[in-house]
Chains A and B, each alone.
Chain A
């Protein structure tokens, strides 16, 4: 009972730091999806160079540990910018470096998800759309995209949860997010109540990922209900 009381107490202390975690995750999900879309388009393109480059990028990113990526971006980008563009970015908010690193990490799986979702849709759909006189863009937007969206959704949510978990490494370069906050609390208690604090931390992450999971299941169900009505 004592432990549970402590955990609830620590929950209250940790929760204010949640906004850093959310800002980092949401902005890298948005930016990473855009980059992933570009990559997926590059993989579909006619040019061999683009195709090879994007597949090399994806396979390299896939084999990169997230912590190494964060460190390389954090220490490498200022050097790159001052060497090539003569801009000093050392003073940037450290959150930007994390967002860039996570964007790079997120874009690779997302590009694969988008590509496989796009390819899972029968080519006849595109042809039928063109046949009835829609423009290629209209066909893509009205016919292909809604179908591909449903296919991609579970995998996309899975990657988003992974990203959220990788975002917990933000503290390694000195951003005060929930993990850093938890470590501070432990330090303040001179190392006492460590596991209760970290359990509170884990609980918060667990709730967020369960919420994402449930939300996606609901959306999927609503889409399937629509599908059934059409079939009947």
Chain B
């Protein structure tokens, strides 16, 4: 068993051209879906008649079907749909636009759920207090509610972004020239698939970790006021202790209970 290292270096050099494409897809999808997700979450929270049911159905559909099926549907339905509107030009559209559509639609659904749970964590008293001191409802939302909700949403947004980055590797099905597609075509010449995919794997690890670090810094910046005094050492250093943010079982404990736990654990070890 031996890996063709020369080939790996070559793939690493060519596949790096795909990194901007992947990042572009992720950024466009995130930038569009963040405000729309927030809006949809508000629709669900305030139970806007009619719209609420549509949003509910949409979220449930997108979350219940594999992204590959969504890609296939959009990639097969949109060109013929556009053909009816703008004629033959529809078939010469850069496929990256279809990638934008699919991944935006997909992350809107995830982010709707994220924002819904985040907005519900903010106490109702905050809204009342804001109205009490004479702010408009809209002002209260922008200045009081949203900043607090964002903090509790950030870990889940990180998670959604990671999913988006990982799923963007499926864009090659729409013949978008992203990292995976470039590595795949390179490998097809000599059937060196393993080497190519190992390189791609490393690229995705690097991208995901950088995204995680960026979000970690954001989270630290936004939650300045509730930062704990825990010092960083080798073992709780972020990359080694990355948790699955979607798991929130511990979160419903109160602060005192958590310190209790920590003490008990320490006790158990000493015993």
Contact = CB atoms under 8 A, between A and B. Distances in A.
Interface of A: 46, 48, 51-52, 55-56, 58-60, 62-68, 71-72, 75-76, 79-80, 82-84, 108-109, 112-113, 116-117, 119-120, 122-123, 151-152, 155, 158, 161, 164-169, 179, 182-183, 186, 194-195, 198-199, 201-202, 205-206, 208-210, 213
B193 A123 contact: no
Contacts, number: 156
Interface string B41-60: 00000000000000000001
A113 B247 contact: yes
Nearest to B200: A68
A19 B68 CA distance: 19
A55 B169 CA distance: 24
Interface in B238-252: 239-244, 246-247, 249-250, 252
B253 interface: yes
A112 B159 CA distance: 14
Interface string B227-260: 0000000010001111110110110110001000
Contacts of A83: 1-2
A151 B194 contact: no
Contact of A205 (B65, B239, B244, B257): B65
Interface in B172-204: 180, 193-194, 197-198, 200-201, 204
Given A46-B269, A63-B204, A112-B243, 20 more contacts: A52-B235, A59-B240, A59-B242, A64-B204, A66-B166, A67-B169, A68-B197, A75-B197, A79-B194, A119-B250, A120-B249, A122-B261, A155-B246, A155-B247, A161-B64, A169-B68, A183-B72, A194-B76, A195-B73, A205-B64
B61 A206 contact: yes
A1 B137 CA distance: 46
Contacts of B89: none
A65 B167 contact: yes
A52 B209 CA distance: 17
A226 B156 CA distance: 32
Interface string B5-45: 00000000000000000000000000000000000000000
A186 B209 CA distance: 39
B72 A198 contact: yes
Contacts of A213: 64
Interface of B: 1-2, 60-61, 63-70, 72-73, 76-77, 80, 162, 165-167, 169-170, 180, 193-194, 197-198, 200-201, 204-205, 208-209, 212, 235, 239-244, 246-247, 249-250, 252-253, 257, 261, 264-265, 268-269
Summarize B's interface: helix, strand, loop or mixed: helix
